[in-house]
Amino acid sequence: MKRQWENENGVALVLVLLLSAVALTSIAGLLYMLGSVGFVSGQQKRYHTALEAGRGGVEATLQVIADRGTSSVPLTNLFLGPNIGTKLSNATSTWGVGVDNTSTINPADNTTYDMRFDLGTYRIYSKIVDTVTGNSSVDEGLVNTGVVVDASGQVTVANIPYLYTAEELVQGQNNVSERSKLSVLYQY
Q: Where are the domains of the chain?
A: 10-187
* Per-residue confidence (pLDDT) for residue 90, from 0 to 100: 87
Which pLDDT does position 181 carry in this prediction? Answer: 92
pLDDT value at residue 166 = 92
**What integer pLDDT is reported at residue 6 of this predicted model?**
65
Q: What is the pLDDT of residue 148?
A: 55
Strand order in the sheet with 115-119: 76-80, 115-119, 122-133, 162-172, 179-187
Average pLDDT per consecutive 10 residues, the chain (188 residues; last block may be shorter): 63 89 94 82 85 90 84 83 88 86 89 91 93 68 53 64 90 88 89
In whole angstroms, give the CA distance from residue 168 to residue 61: 9
